[in-house]
Chains A and B, each alone.
Chain A
Amino acid sequence: MPLQYGLHEMSIAAAVLDAVRAETRLHGGARATRAGLRIGELSGVEPESLRFCLESLVAGDDLEPLAFDIETRPWTRRCLDCGAEFRVVEYNTACSGCGSAHTEAAGGDEMELSYLELEEPGCASRSNEKS
């Protein structure tokens, strides 16, 4: 059962750490030093609040010292007339290229683990064997 917190970003942060643990297991138990996150403007997650929650949860945890790199992704739509993908500014959902109102949702609700930086597998154990 994942941890549950009243604060929204705290429960998302707990899910991020679960995802980091799952991915490091898939990569032979290598230690992660940095995690890249992709957070969309429409995801409902505030990046700075998420960073605070991640850092609070990692402090004193076996994942410490894991650093985070949060990339904010813009709210985008795709034009059904000219095909352009454009950023929505000031809630204007009409195509910024041709002005068409026929557009569809494209991006902005990302909430993804985009990369992990892992220590080279086995470094520590090999040096132990030598000594």
Chain B
Amino acid sequence: MRVPLERKVLNENDRIAAGLRERFQRGGVFCLNLISSPGSGKTALLERTLEGFDASRRMAVLTGDIQTDNDARRLARFGFPVRQITTGGACHLDARMVERALEGWRVEELEILFLENVGNLVCPTSYDLGEEARAVLLSVTEGEDKPLKYPATFHHADLMVLNKIDLLPYVPFQAALACENARRVQPEIEILEVSCTSGQGLDGWRAWLEARL
């Protein structure tokens, strides 16, 4: 007997993510899921972001890694609430990990919740975390063809942050080609170019965030 179904494989994750999204929306919290390869600069971008916000702002970060709480320690210096999610092997964050990590926080009072995913351009794509927007970071020390190699990740992103642009004079990376490739897999994607070292473009990034509040 064949029973036709339309059950999403990750429906348990999606159910928890929907609950988180409702909480965020009720509280007017802008939740951003940050995805990239290891070493593209997610933590550095968050350091520069938190550093630029006045201490009265209500920002928080959940940062995911397979092991260590190094990122949480780096980010906690700015005085905003930060929690490390150590996945213990899992290559991505899922909604249940986020829900657990938020326990005890008055999430509804936040302005922005940053979810720094595990450094990986494949696995985080499939897992809805209840975020309002998804940003993928690409750095100029990688290949311009990353959007074509990992189309699912770029296709599901609202924003691409091209990082480390201070290194452009020293690497053969063609920024225009990388942007063109990102638009091929996601014609609606927004693109910002930044350097977390020189600070170039960070005003545009902060303005992008503020426009979402």
A112 at interface, CB cutoff 8 A: yes
| A-side contacts of B187, CB under 8 Å | 93, 101, 103
Taking a contact as CB atoms closer than 8 A, the residue among B2, B151, B184 that contacts A116 in the complex is B2
Interface residues on A, range: 35 or more
- B101: chain A residues within 8 A (beta carbon): none
Residues of A within 8 A of B96 (CB): 1
The reply to whether B9 and A111 contact each other, CB–CB distance below 8 Å, is: yes
Contact in complex: A44, B9 (CB < 8 Å): no
A61 to chain B, nearest CB (A): 17
Q: A112-B6, A113-B7, A115-B4 are in contact. Are A18 and B184 (CB under 8 A)?
A: no
Q: Do A112 and B9 touch across chains, with their CB atoms under 8 A apart?
A: yes
B178 vs chain A, min Cβ distance (A): 14
Are the C-beta atoms of B5 and A116 separated by less than 8 Å? yes
Q: CA separation between A1 and B88, bound complex, in Å?
A: 14
Q: Verify A11–B9 contact, CB threshold 8 A.
A: no
Q: Are B7 and A19 in contact (CB under 8 A)?
A: yes
Minimum CB–CB distance for A3 against chain B, Å: 10
Which B residues are within 8 Å of any A CB, using their own CB?
A: 1-13, 66, 87-92, 96, 122-123, 125-126, 148, 151-153, 155-156, 181, 184-185, 187
21 residue pairs bridging A and B, Cβ less than 8 Å apart: A2-B12, A4-B87, A5-B89, A5-B90, A6-B66, A11-B91, A15-B9, A15-B13, A22-B7, A23-B5, A42-B151, A42-B152, A42-B156, A44-B122, A45-B126, A91-B185, A111-B126, A113-B7, A115-B5, A116-B2, A118-B2
Kindly list 17 other residue pairs between chains A and B, CB separation below 8 angstroms, not including A4-B87, A22-B7, A91-B151: A1-B96, A4-B90, A5-B89, A8-B91, A27-B3, A42-B151, A42-B155, A43-B126, A44-B125, A45-B126, A93-B185, A111-B9, A114-B5, A115-B3, A116-B2, A116-B5, A118-B1
